[in-house]
Chain A
Amino acid sequence: MSNRKINMKEKYRLLTRDLDWEYSYRDYKEVFPQQEFEGIKITDWSKWEDPFRLTMDAYWKYQAEKEKKLYAILDAFSQNNSQLNVTDARYVNAIKLFLTGISPGEHQAAMGFGQVGRQLGGVGARVACQMQAIDELRHVQTQIHAMSHYNKFFDGFQDFSHMHDRVWYLSVSKSFFDDARTAGPFEYMVAIGFSFEYVLTNLLFVPFMSGAAYNGDMATVTFGFSAQSDEARHMTLGLEIIKFLLEQHPDNLPIVQRWINKWFWRGTRMLSLVAMMMDYMLPNKVMSWQEAWEVYFEEAGGSLFKDLARYGIEMPDYAQTAIAEKEHISHQVWSMFYNYGHATAFHTWMPTEKEMDWLSEKYPNTFDKYYRPRFEKWREMEAAGERFYNPTLPMLCQTCQIPMGFTDMEDPTSIFYRQSEYDGERYNFCSDGCKDIFDHEPEKYVQAWLPVHQIYQGNCGGPSMEDVLGNYYKINLGVDNMDFHGSPDEERWNIWHNLQPAEDKLKQAS
């Protein structure tokens, strides 16, 4: 029997698309009940272009090879106690933020892609989403495994899962993913598949992964690198969904544009936590947040939206606001966390003199003018034994759930503030972007589990800070929280490296 040659594209079609059939015992709409309620019009699923052509046998093979290498490095990392090789123990706080704030998001992404991987009516799209679902499960699990060794030597990693459901700043990322997952399948795809994975992903992963590389953290570098080829697939899927929706029906354009506006803003707000990590938590700096923003959003995103212009898609609303904020955002967010450093499961600190100089150089228009004086004052207070902690509870933005602390870009000394009324109640917002999102779907955003409201309502373990932070959040008080200086993390680090405690150094210096 002589075999006909069969090309890759045709073979992939036979091995995926051709598996599907037209139902006759049940109605298509019964099998895919979620496909229409968002108003998206799909006329022909067969027009879906497969973003990648990977059959399961190849998937198992490649991924198993990657896992083998990854776990070999993680094993060596713990055997050699390579956590000792990071620049200094302050760095580890960056990956505490990652494990508590980002890794649970990978888990949410796995569930969300699983959901659309069942609910989308086209088999090509479903299969691509399913592969992303299992990849995202990979990400959360490899991240837990990479952090597992750090957890044995540093405080603040130990209860990441419990904390993600409760702690005030973690509800920023939790509500982001809850928002996407509770939307319909197409909005989910635009939110996570496109806006997050395509437009903003580099602003999340480059800071963390390069930050790890610059700071001697081989465990994080390794899972980051290992996830890169997965991410490349996710990006092609994100782009395909946009093109597909826009080519299917002209009525889809305004819906998709609105989703892009919303998810760009929601993503940008969440990334402000990454901005502070990048500028303040890395002892060895990679680049400034502003530089990263310019490369990965203004340049890369700019050309992407130029590309999408032929479909009628425009740059997201409030991109200009986000661009104006790039010189401020990291300083403002670090200030908030420094203020509430008694209520965080990681340590905060004031930059050293050298670090302040770096910030002045990178942010010539803003740092010396608006932020350095405040930081120097806080540093003086610390030296005088009166490290500043803000004892009040902040007001949170109803949409992004970040404390209301962003300033007006027209006047960077005053806090930006918006309100909406719905059903007789007032709601507060940090920005026009967050207010617009609320105003479009108030019935959704009034449901938000706002951590500060919940504390006031007595739903978080009791009235005192010890009840909330210690019992409800399960932060080990005096251990996981407060300033880095004087923390058990710092003390152990110094013993391991035969270093003088910072306090002694301070004494000697003065």
Chain B
Amino acid sequence: MSIEIKTATLEPIRHTFEHTKRRFGDKPASRYQEASYDIAPEQNFHYRPFWQPDKELFDKSRTAVVMEDWNVHKDPRQYYYGTYVQARAKLQEITESNYAFFEKRGSAGRMSEAVRAKIIRCLVPLRHAELGANMNNMFAFSNGTATVVNQGFLYNAMDRLGIAQYLSRIGLLLDGNSTESLTLAKEYWMTDPAWQGLRRYIENVLCVKDWFEVFIAQDVVLDTLLYDLIYRQFDDAITEQGGSDLAMLIEFMQEWHKDSSRWVDATLKTTVEESDHNRTTIKRWVDDWREKAVADLAPLADIAVGDTAMAASLDVLNQRLAKVGL
């Protein structure tokens, strides 16, 4: 009897917070919605930044693209912190057992010297490029306006640091912890003509001031090309040359790229479809950076896979852009 009374009188007085109610209606909201939408400050900022006195904190004018409401975006993965770390924890568990298996099986020793050398020349230097990607995504995170958009960049930034660390561990697995491979890879990154284009591209993106342009240059254009080139085409090429165990070491990057692409595509699509102004602005950035990226990556594509590789990756990028009408 007393239980009955309790349930009868314990009716909630509201279903969710007002900010989620205004946006999604008067019904229970998901954890993703409550913790992502409309939680960033929007007005009445107290002081202008010393480092950029012409703007406010969370200023919308830090990018040339315009959204009437940045909170119309949605991450199809619905990542907030909790779901994000749990998804990555699963992926890292698989990766950990892959790396342990690779080591236990003595896979590094079973690879030919040539294959090992090729991986050190064409894959391991990417650890530096991933640090650049980390910084670029951190830039977008800290310059954006709405948390529902910004948090995706923060997760991406941390992912890229993680990938840079996995790539370094690949080097250590291949050189038996002598660290020679990392020294060598850095030399390639700094001086090898095959890598200079990519390094220049990254350094250039690090100086871009518009955070959405950074997103286009890094996450849309460069990543699409590079992840296809290395984690698909180069992986195939190495398998053909007897290095199929490499697949175990790069499964994280492949799975991560699939996952991350869902967010990249959604973010791109929503922004492009907002207005002709956005479409034109983004189109201009895409054209610009695509041209640079193809030229800058071509020497790497040549030595990593072969002379048709760049064109194949460009195809993948163009198909992806076509899906959002670019």
Q: A residues bordering B, Cβ < 8 Å? A: 1-6, 11, 14-16, 18-26, 30-31, 33-34, 37, 55-57, 59-61, 63-65, 67-68, 70-71, 81, 84, 104, 107-108, 110-111, 114-115, 117-118, 123, 126-127, 130-131, 133-134, 137-138, 140-142, 144-145, 148, 151-155, 157-162, 164-166, 171, 174-175, 178-179, 181-185, 444-445, 447-449, 454, 474, 492, 495-496
Contact = CB atoms under 8 A, between A and B. Distances in A.
Contacts of B106: 1
Contacts of B130: 19
Contacts of B88: 56, 60, 64
Contacts of A160: 17
Contact of A444 (B47, B142, B162): B47
- Which of A18, A20, A133, A492 counts the most chain B CB atoms within 10 A? A18
Given A15-B168, A157-B17, A159-B17, 10 more contacts: A1-B176, A23-B203, A55-B162, A56-B158, A130-B138, A133-B154, A141-B82, A155-B13, A175-B46, A496-B6
Contacts of A127: 161
A115 B85 CA distance: 21
A111 B142 contact: yes
A148 B17 contact: yes
Contacts of A56: 88, 92, 158-159, 161-162, 165
A151 B18 CA distance: 10
Chain B residues touching A, range = 35 or more
Given A6-B177, A130-B161, A145 B35 contact: yes
Chain A interface secondary structure, helix, strand, loop or mixed? helix
A31 B189 CA distance: 18
Given A1-B109, A178-B57, A68 B86 contact: yes
Given A4-B178, A496-B9, A31 B147 contact: no
A3 B176 contact: yes
B91 to A, nearest CB: 8
Interface string B5-24: 01001101111111100000
B234 interface: no
- Which of B16, B131, B142 counts the most chain A CB atoms within 10 A? B142
Contacts of B50: 37, 182-184, 444
Nearest to A180: B47
B203 A60 contact: no
Contacts of A60: 85, 88-89, 91-92, 162
A150 B134 CA distance: 37
A18 B182 contact: yes
B270 interface: no
A106 B134 CA distance: 22
Interface stretch (B36-44, B272-280, B299-307, B312-320): B36-44
Contacts of A65: 89
B169 interface: yes
A64 B87 CA distance: 8
A152 B31 contact: no
Interface in B129-161: 130-131, 134-135, 138-139, 141-142, 147, 150-151, 154-155, 157-159, 161
